């Protein structure tokens, strides 16, 4: 390979590495938010089903 080709490949590799290092915290934050949203969604579903049960019990008691 010519010197020019080696320099281009090295520059491209360095650019990819730099972008990956700079973007990694954002990717982690996105993954954490997505996981939190999934967990929150489950909790909301459980709370809504509990509210329905309590509402049904209140209506049955009156």
pLDDT tens across 13-61, in order?
999 999 999 999 888 988 888 887 777 777 787 888 888 988 888 888 8
Q: Is the pLDDT of residue 2 over 80?
A: yes
Measure the N-to-C terminal CA separation of the chain; round to a whole number of Å.
86
Looking at residue 9, its pLDDT comes to 96
- Cα(21)–Cα(30) distance, integer angstroms: 15
Phi and psi, residue 2, nearest 5° = -80, 165
Q: Is the pLDDT of residue 11 over 90?
A: yes
Please tell me the total number of residues recorded for the chain in this structure: 62
- Please give the model's pTM, rounded to 2 decimal places: 0.47
Distances (CA, A) of 35 to 16, 24, 28, 30, 44: 27, 16, 10, 9, 14
User: Two tokens at 20?
Assistant: 């990956």
Looking at residue 12, its pLDDT comes to 97
């Amino acid at each position: 390979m010519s010197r020019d080709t080696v320099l281009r490949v090295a520059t491209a590799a360095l650019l990819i590495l730099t972008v990956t290092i700079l973007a990694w915290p954002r990717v982690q934050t996105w993954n954490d938010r997505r996981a939190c949203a999934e967990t929150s969604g489950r909790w909301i579903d459980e709370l809504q089903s509990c509210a329905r049960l309590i509402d049904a019990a209140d209506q049955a008691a009156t």
